[in-house]
Chain A
């Protein structure tokens, strides 16, 4: 083991790797404060996010319309690389944004659609109704949100779509174990 550049960045060299340690450049922004400190940046940020919520309905409608537009292009021209990418990105954005915007069921339906696009062995062989039902469901969830009975309906709709999509993907990937593993694996990504 050898040491180089003492003082600033310390490099410890091993047989096949180096371990590089530098003094924490962000240490200057860490402030020691008393336990009684009442500053609450998370609470402040949550309030600021709530202040944006008046925009969420409109943003969600824009995202849903982008997805529908991407679908129209696919219906017209088929699954080219660009068309597939745009449909996936539109669905993927909804998957990531919808819960923040207050539409968790739309996010769940979009996630199911993303799984179809990502794991179907041949998108041209996916029943067109399966994709259309996902997009129609997302539009319905977004447009009908104000009705009192739609929360449980939207949740059930997303659950049913995911069930049908998973059944299709499991069958379509029966000879592709690496995809089957990915389809059946639980999410492990840290969200909180």
Chain B
């Protein structure tokens, strides 16, 4: 069995709502975290990210001027001098499928919908610590592998091409269904 030695982890929390920051701080401290840096907007969070080099970032989405999505995009700059690989947990009141997809495509590592729970937050932290995913770099994306499940039975268009991946040419479900008629 594994557990996390929280007192060795450094967190950056970004949320414009002071009540939510207080709740997050309380939860993290009670997990055992000693270092929690807080920001109420994305721009300040980006400065603090460079200065404090946190191990994990927890950010809200909706914030004035510079939101959590932009913060994630700024962190995920492969050529930047800072660390572009830090896990980003997006904690947000947005819960629609479309929003989850947009966050994922911005390089967010984990998505946690409010209302927050101690269990939900702990599980996201455990996941980014124990099961980091490789990073993928394409012309339009840099971030954690968006494929969480390796399914050998996948049938459908292959969006990544080249090398080993390119050989996985398979008919679409529609073509398969048509040929069966």
Contacts and interface: CB of A to CB of B under 8 A. Distances in A.
Contact of B132 (A26, A63, A89, A101): A26
Interface in B1-50: 1-6, 8-9, 16-17, 19-20, 22-23, 26-27, 29-32
Contacts of A92: 62, 93-94
B74 interface: no
Interface of A: 1, 12-22, 24-26, 28-35, 37, 39, 41-42, 44-49, 51-52, 59, 62-63, 85, 88-89, 92-93, 95-101, 107, 111, 114, 182, 185, 187-192
Given A14-B166, A47-B30, A100-B116, 4 more contacts: A48-B30, A93-B17, A191-B117, A192-B117
13 contacts: A1-B164, A16-B161, A29-B5, A30-B5, A45-B121, A97-B115, A98-B115, A99-B114, A100-B23, A188-B95, A188-B97, A189-B95, A192-B120
B17 A97 contact: yes
Given A22-B85, A89-B64, A97-B19, A187 B4 contact: no
A14 B170 CA distance: 19
Q: How large is the interface on B (under 10, 10 to 19, 20 to 34, 35 or more residues)?
A: 35 or more
B119 A44 contact: no
B81 interface: no
A12 B136 CA distance: 10
Most buried by B among A24, A37, A41, A182: A41
Contacts of B19: 59, 62-63, 97, 101
Most buried by A among B22, B121, B134: B134
A96 B32 CA distance: 25
Contacts of A48: 26-27, 29-30
A38 to B, nearest CB: 11
B120 A44 contact: no
B70 interface: no
B136 A17 contact: yes
Contact of B162 (A17, A93, A98, A100): A17
Nearest to A1: B163
Contacts of A99: 114-115
A190 B119 CA distance: 12
B176 interface: no
Nearest to A192: B120
